Structure 1
Amino acid sequence: MFFLTVLLCSVAHATIYYVKSDGNDSSNGLSWSTAFATLQKALDVYTSGDQIWVAKGTYVPTSTYGLGDDERLKHFRLKNNVKIYGGFTGIETSVNERRNFGVGQENETILSGDIGEKGWSFDNCYHVFYHPVNLGLDSTAVLDGFTIKGGQADGDNMHNFGGGMYNSSSSSKIVSCTFTNNSAFYCGGGMYNSSSYLISTSCTFTNNIAQTGYGGGCIYNEQSFLTINNSIIWGNIACEGNGNQLYICGGGITTLNYSCYANGINDVHISNGTFTATNHDITSDPMFIGSGEHPYLIYGNSPCVDAGNNDYVTEQYDIRGSGYPRKLDKTTGKAGTIDMGTY
């Protein structure tokens, strides 16, 4: 009876906080009509077990978390026991009602480091997400349904790593996100992991850059366990270092399951690490559309279509909404196998 009472109290006190680009941080954030304007406000007031729903639009970091006065130190941080969902229109009552939140689509929800002059990266945040060693994130920290872009890690020390996301002794789950147009001066343009454990499912990593240093244009994985499921890693660049897509070192272990990755010259670099690609992974061009409303969409002739694993995904629908079941056969249109990547 005591356990049941505690469980019911825990459920009863779970709260959804809402964020909209036209919201107001002076509101209570408890409905779409009283939504906050910034993601940071929701992160400031959450309690364990809460969810944060973020409507379409572009949101930038507003807090340096006490790191200093430099505007470029502003960043977001995931929190334990909080699930952050993007991709809403701003009227939904269920996470499964989200639709059309891919890159360039009407409900795309962008977390951007572009805090300065728009279109110029020299004054962008060093990281869109920054998780230093003392946070202790675990797998209850979940990010789902966002485009992560505009991180420019060209500062000093650790601010040279992980433009899109920096993780040190942190663990989290990243779902249905696209990491694109992030840069690091030294390592890990899209993501930097050190002594961390991360799981990424149904994500797309493309067009991220490591400018110098060791490399890892997309992901630098040092002394970390990284598992990537049903995802696409393609078109990232390590300008002067190694590993356009992946740099694995320091005993790091990277495992790809049912994913597509570039495996040409200098795409995957292993230095005292382990890289496991299963026989269900592919190294063929994912054949992104490349332009138009949603450039990272794949069509029926892509090798990534119907090539994922349904067991990794619980969502009923893909990012185009209820008219597009997540697990759909490309030929018959009936229940089938999930695609690789965000779509």
Structure 2
Amino acid sequence: MKRNLILLTVLLAALSSFSAEYFVDATRPDDTGAATSWATAKKTIQAAVNLTVNGDTVWVTNGTYVLSAEISVTNAITIRSVNGPEATIVDGNGVFGCFSLNDSACTVSGFTIENGQQGVRCADTTPVVVNCVIATNRADFASGGGMFRGTAQNCIFRGNEASDGGGMAEGKSYNCTFIGNVANPFGGAIGANGYGGGQYGGETYNCLFIDNTAGMLGCTIAFGTAYNCTFISTSCVDVYRSVVYNSVFSPEKSANAGSEFYSSCASDLINGVNGNITSTPLFVDEANGDFRLQSNSPCINWGNNSVVSNATDLAGNPRIVEGTVDMGAYEYQEIVGLADSDVDGINDDWERQQGGNQNPGATCSNGVNSILQAYIAGLDPKNPQSRFQMVADKSPASDNILRWNATSGRVYSVYFSTNLLNGFQPLETNIPWTAGAFTDTVHKVDGQGFYKIGVELK
């Protein structure tokens, strides 16, 4: 009896883990088929969804599926097209939302979702939409024309409108592209009451924003957080009440009140503050839509690794190549081999430690040395007390012993002159930093003399 009970338990567990597949074909005459094969496929997606339980998959083949009602999903299922968004279209007919995914742990993959009163609607960020084109949807007097909440991965949001976010609102977007979405009191990309042309609220990672607009403020994003994004526009690239990390703006960000920028590149940021730079990002071909970085871009290896969560960039390539993440949505994939990417004589890592790109000719806090001199000498440019100093002592044998504050990675030279008008002559060169001192046994009997210490990067 006990053995039978155990066998029955195992059998029930196996049955409960079984997942079914259902099939949908727009060319079928109706929904009377069992949907268990292509020969018995349903005509509508909703009819197949209604058969599912958690873990099932609905396969949808080529065709345009014009809706007479919004597709509602409540189970943890996968709805997947056979041949991708170019061949499989869900059309809201200008009247209905396309997908209502509620809070289910479902996945919708490989569709063009268009012409809906909201493309995708979710209760939270649990549902996932993957490899979809979400286009020309509207959300009149509502949030998220393309998508409200949910999580979008590798999607294109194009030409959506809403009063509170045309492309996406209050969701998460990973490796997505937002093109030509509009936020205004009657529609927008991601915005509230005309705020945020690209995305309103939520979080966006490794995304590209091109020519999104807003009726009020925040053409790209508003009230959101962006990580490693690239923002492009010929008219408006502003960010409203958002926090931005590791991102690139062209031509500039035109930031409004309440926005914060860290390790980002834009011409109207403050160079060196919070790791930001103001250099031109140097895209491969901005005029023709290639926003990858050139090999000499100042954005290479200039981001902040602590806020990186994606393993890949927008193109699907490794997100970090040389130990430090690049700014923007695209990671440069070659080894640049340059410790000084902006060719100003100062190592990139040192500049990064000082808060970002430095002006080598500017005077550091000690009021004496330039930033370049501070870097070479190993000084702290922000500390007024940080100076290169030498002291001279007499040995018992009356030798002159010179000591200085040496720094690793440097070599030193000692020069001597009896008359400053005659210049200096070298006493010793290539003194390793570990020595930190030099003993002059030649000039110990001279009544007067001058020493000079030279320092070079090793």
Residue aligning to 1:164 = 146
User: What is residue 47 of structure 1 aligned with on the other side?
Assistant: 53
Distance in structure 1 (CA, Å) of the matches to 2:59 and 2:130: 10
- The whole-number CA distance in structure 2 between the counterparts of 1:20 and 1:297 is 37
Residue in structure 2 matching 1:220, options 196, 200, 204: 200
Q: Return the alpha-carbon distance in structure 2 between the equivalents of residues 180 and 207 of structure 1.
A: 6
Task: Say which of 169, 172, 195 aligns to 1:192.
Answer: 169
Partner of 1:205: 178
Instruction: Give the counterpart letter for 1:129 in structure 2.
Output: V
Distance 1:50 1:283 in 2: 43
Q: Alignment partner for residue 242 of structure 1, among 217, 221, 224?
A: 217
Q: Which residue of 1 aligns with 2:120?
A: 129
Corresponding letter in the other structure for 2:164 = C
CA 1:267–1:288: 2 relative to 1, 3 Å: farther
Aligned counterpart for 2:106 among listed residues 75, 79, 82: 82
Q: Measure, in 2, the Cα distance between the counterparts of 1:290 and 1:57.
A: 35
Identity %: 24
Deviation readout 1:91-140 (Å, 9 max, x if unpaired): xxxxxxxxxxxxxxxxxx31111xxxxxxxxxxx3212234xxxx4452x
Equivalent in 47, 63, 69 of residue 63 of structure 1: 69
Q: Is the 8 A contact 2:293 2:300 kept in 1?
A: yes
Q: Does the Cα contact within 8 Å between 1:51 and 1:82 map onto a contact in 2?
A: no
1:281 aligns to 2:247 (yes or no): yes
1:110 maps onto 2:115 in alignment: no
CA distance in 1, matches of 2:129, 2:120: 11
Counterpart among 95, 111, 133 of residue 72 in structure 1 = 95
In the alignment, the residues of structure 2 paired with residue 257 and residue 209 of structure 1 have an alpha-carbon distance, to the nearest angstrom, of 21
Give the aligned residue type for 1:164.
Answer: G
Q: Which residue of 2 aligns with 1:323?
A: none
Q: Write the deviation string for residues 261-315 of structure 1: whole angstroms up to 9, x where unpaired.
A: 3498662111xxxx3322x322247778888xxxx77677598999999963589
Aligned partners of 1:39 and 1:306: how far apart in 2? Answer: 46
The residue number in structure 1 matching 2:128 is 142
TM value normalised by structure 1: 0.57
Distance in 1 of aligned mates of 2:71 and 2:36 = 24
Residue of structure 1 equivalent to 2:88: none
Return the letter of the residue paired with 2:225: T
User: Which has the higher relative contact order, 1 or 2, with Cα contacts under 8 A spaced 6 or more apart?
Assistant: 1
- Give, in whole Å, the separation in 2 of the partners of 1:180 and 1:306: 31
Q: Which amino acid aligns with 2:222?
A: Y
| Distance of 2:68 and 2:21 partners within structure 1 | 21
SS, match of residue 312 in structure 1? coil
| Contact in 2 for aligned 1:64/1:71 (Cα 8 Å) | no
Equivalent-residue separation in structure 2 for 1:41 and 1:76 (angstroms): 14
- How far apart, in 2, do the equivalents of 1:29 and 1:313 lie? 38
Cα displacement (A) at 1:144: 0.8
CA RMSD of aligned residues (A): 4.5
Q: Matched residue of 2:50: which SS?
A: helix
Number of the residue aligned with 1:177: 155
Using a 3 Å threshold, how does the CA distance of structure 1 residues 138 and 232 change in structure 2: closer, same or farther? closer
Aligned partner of 2:213: which letter?
A: I
Counterparts of 1:20 and 1:306, CA distance in 2: 48
What is the rounded CA distance, in whole Å, between the counterparts of 1:59 and 1:290 in structure 2? 36
Whole-Å separation in 1 of the counterparts to 2:293 and 2:63: 29
Q: Secondary structure at the match of 2:249?
A: coil
Count of aligned positions: 253
What is the TM-score normalised by the length of structure 2? 0.45
